[in-house]
Chains A and B, each alone.
Chain A
Amino acid sequence: MSIPFLYALVGIGLFCLGLHALIVHDHLLRKILAINVMGSGVFLVLVALARRGGDSPPDPVPHAMVITGIVVAVSATALALSLMLKVKAATGRAELPDKDGG
């Protein structure tokens, strides 16, 4: 197994790790961090597999996609953190209340 595939598998691992943390943890900050870890996993998969060209330079399109993805992730995280602070101020706890029914 070559290096690009190793990194891609790490990316998959990060994705699943983040998914697990997102579902299992209750605290909002942990959920937001979990989303970020998942995002990093996806970006790693994108970038790692771009190096499969052998001697030719890496494929620049996934690199540009990841740059775009990082900016989107930063924007989403900023909004999520602000919203988390508002939820904490409104309910006293940085957790989502238990859902009732349905």
Chain B
Amino acid sequence: MDVLFSETPWGPVLILLPLAGGIACFLFPASAKTMGLLTVALVGLVVVGLGWQLLEYGVYHHAVGGWGAPLGIDLAADGLSLLMLAMTALVGFGVSLYATGYFRPADSVRFWPLWLLLLGALNALFLSGDLFNLYVTLELVGLAAVALTALQGGRDALTGAMRYLLATLLGSLLYLLGVALLYHGYGTVDIALLSERVAPSPVAWAALGLMSAGLILKTALFPLHFWLPPAHASAPAPVSAVLSALVVKASFYILLRLWLAIFSDISGGVAGLFGLLGAGAVLWGSWQALRQTQVKLLVAYSTVAQIGYLFLAYPLASGMGVTAWSAMAYLAFSHALAKAAMFLAAGNMRQFGGHDRIADLDRVVQRLPLTVGAFALAGVSIMGLPPSGGFNGKWLLLQAALTQGRWEIVGVILLGGLLAAGYVFKVLGNAFTQAPKTHEPISVPARMQWAAMLLAAGAILVGFLASPFLALMGVGDPFSVGGLRP
């Protein structure tokens, strides 16, 4: 049994399984729903297998084609990759469960192949150790996300998807030019090899600038966030959940990897710039969220704000690296669960009432108790109240900031928390009151409510699991400089 576990190529299976599932759903649309849900469940099990292997044997390494870098492409996974994969599998399962009840049959047969290919691409991205391979996976993720956004049509979704597509293509090309410069400067695109070879030079700085610009555009960091609210708000609810929870984390993850492996030594003031932009995102995003009149737009701007928190870790990492990066990973993971739950809950409210105007949420708490409960629990994590994953992340971030005397960052975090409370209670408050115009409710399937609740509960549960979480993340020492070494 032990041999079986260690011999199984968990990494490649994690990539091939959803791709095969997507193709199967494309070929046999009649059974797309069942095949899709089954595939996603299996992916979860494979992630568990990979996690077991990581805990037993340390960093996972797989040389595709048997060639090894720099000639071939390497797959690699350490604690950070496992975290991202687990996040993807968990959110993916919740969203898939929700989607089986959400889509009409005509949309459903188009959703499942696209979604499973997106899942495969995300897994491939989190496992990749090669910069050009990351470009291909990044494009795969981007195109799938755009196609999913435009799935149900509608003027807002189509224009949102178009804007998203142009932004994502621009980001990819900036990234690719950086990769081209790094290859021609240092002779390889393998991350582990580059981390040894890169030295301060015009090529390295140009690559840093280009790739950072492209990736923060794709992660929607303020002020390059313009494309996110229209796209995330107008997409179908399960797609919005995937976009905010997973897709923006993909480019964020790549930037983090590049930073840890290659750029942190040569970065100069870029970390400070990231921190500044992050602070802007927290304040601007939260403020805009407060001003919104529709639930989904509010949740989308909340994503803009939460992404800002992630970037606050960069300036703090020079002094207390492990704490700051752990905070960032904790926040990213909890945010994925909480934000997905919020979007699913918003989708329920919208389906229930036929609209998602905050002011007209008519006593939703009575008729959709699970949904409002899910929104509330997710809100707890977003606000950073104990006990929740969001609280743990914020606590670690505050620790890092206080120990280094960065009072301005402490201020931003606290103010952001207040603003988050503001916009979460804006929605919850209206859920209790009777609206000026009442309407006939449309029923919401139980599984859609449960999916939202399970994800929200997960965000809270993660708050209780700090020790195992941090232990898992520490496998392979991802936050020491160098990263992803075999």
The chain B residue sitting closest to A15, CB to CB, is: B177
**B301 proximal to A (CB < 8 A):** yes
**B170 proximal to A (CB < 8 A):** yes
Which residues of A come within 8 Å of B, CB atoms?
A: 15, 19, 22, 28, 31-32, 35, 38-39, 41-42, 45-46, 49-50, 52, 61-62, 65, 68-69, 72, 75-76, 79-80, 83-84, 86-87, 90-91, 96-97, 99, 101-102
Q: Contact: A102 with B162, CB < 8 Å?
A: no
6 A-B pairs within 8 Å (CB atoms) are namely A38-B170, A42-B173, A42-B180, A69-B176, A76-B165, A83-B146
Other-chain residue from A35, A46, A50 in contact with B169 (beta carbon distance below 8 A): A35
| Contact-residue bracket for chain B | 35 or more
Write out the residue numbers on chain A whose beta carbons fall within 8 Å of the beta carbon of B437: none
Write out the residue numbers on chain A whose beta carbons fall within 8 Å of the beta carbon of B304: 102
Report Cα–Cα, A16/B267, bound state, in Å.
Answer: 24
Q: Contact: A42 with B177, CB < 8 Å?
A: yes
The chain A residue sitting closest to B227, CB to CB, is: A99
Q: A76-B139, A80-B169, A87-B162 are in contact. Are A45 and B180 (CB under 8 A)?
A: yes
Q: Contact: A79 with B166, CB < 8 Å?
A: no
Q: A46-B180, A79-B147, A83-B161 are in contact. Are A38 and B173 (CB under 8 A)?
A: yes
The chain B residue sitting closest to A47, CB to CB, is: B180
Q: Contact: A87 with B159, CB < 8 Å?
A: yes
Q: Contact: A65 with B132, CB < 8 Å?
A: yes
Q: Contact: B169 with A102, CB < 8 Å?
A: no
Q: A45-B177, A97-B159 are in contact. Are A86 and B170 (CB under 8 A)?
A: no
Q: Contact: B301 with A72, CB < 8 Å?
A: no
Write out the residue numbers on chain B whose beta carbons fall within 8 Å of the beta carbon of A80: 162, 165-166, 169
Q: Contact: A72 with B139, CB < 8 Å?
A: yes
The chain A residue sitting closest to B285, CB to CB, is: A102
Query: Which 3 A-B pairs rank lowest in CB-CB distance, beginning with the nearest?
Result: A49-B184, A102-B288, A90-B155
Report Cα–Cα, A61/B184, bound state, in Å.
Answer: 11
**B230 proximal to A (CB < 8 A):** yes
Other-chain residue from A31, A41, A101 in contact with B166 (beta carbon distance below 8 A): A31
Report Cα–Cα, A65/B159, bound state, in Å.
Answer: 31
**B382 proximal to A (CB < 8 A):** no
Within the complex, the shortest CB–CB distance from A16 to chain B, in Å, comes to 10
Other-chain residue from B132, B155, B163, B173 in contact with A91 (beta carbon distance below 8 A): B155
Write out the residue numbers on chain B whose beta carbons fall within 8 Å of the beta carbon of A84: 162
Within the complex, the shortest CB–CB distance from B118 to chain A, in Å, comes to 14
Question: B124-143 toward A: CB 8 Å interface, digit per residue (1/0)?
Answer: 00000000100110010001
**B463 proximal to A (CB < 8 A):** no
Report Cα–Cα, A14/B284, bound state, in Å.
Answer: 35
Write out the residue numbers on chain B whose beta carbons fall within 8 Å of the beta carbon of A22: 166, 170
Write out the residue numbers on chain B whose beta carbons fall within 8 Å of the beta carbon of A69: 135, 176
Contact residues of B between 421 and 449, Cβ < 8 Å to A = none
Other-chain residue from A42, A49, A83 in contact with B158 (beta carbon distance below 8 A): A83
Write out the residue numbers on chain A whose beta carbons fall within 8 Å of the beta carbon of B183: 46, 61-62, 65
Q: Contact: A102 with B301, CB < 8 Å?
A: yes
Within the complex, the shortest CB–CB distance from A97 to chain B, in Å, comes to 6
Report Cα–Cα, A31/B288, bound state, in Å.
Answer: 28
Other-chain residue from B153, B176, B284 in contact with A42 (beta carbon distance below 8 A): B176
Other-chain residue from B143, B177, B181 in contact with A79 (beta carbon distance below 8 A): B143
**B478 proximal to A (CB < 8 A):** no
Q: Contact: B288 with A75, CB < 8 Å?
A: no
The chain B residue sitting closest to A8, CB to CB, is: B184
Q: A83-B161, A90-B158 are in contact. Are A99 and B226 (CB under 8 A)?
A: yes
Write out the residue numbers on chain B whose beta carbons fall within 8 Å of the beta carbon of A91: 155, 158-159
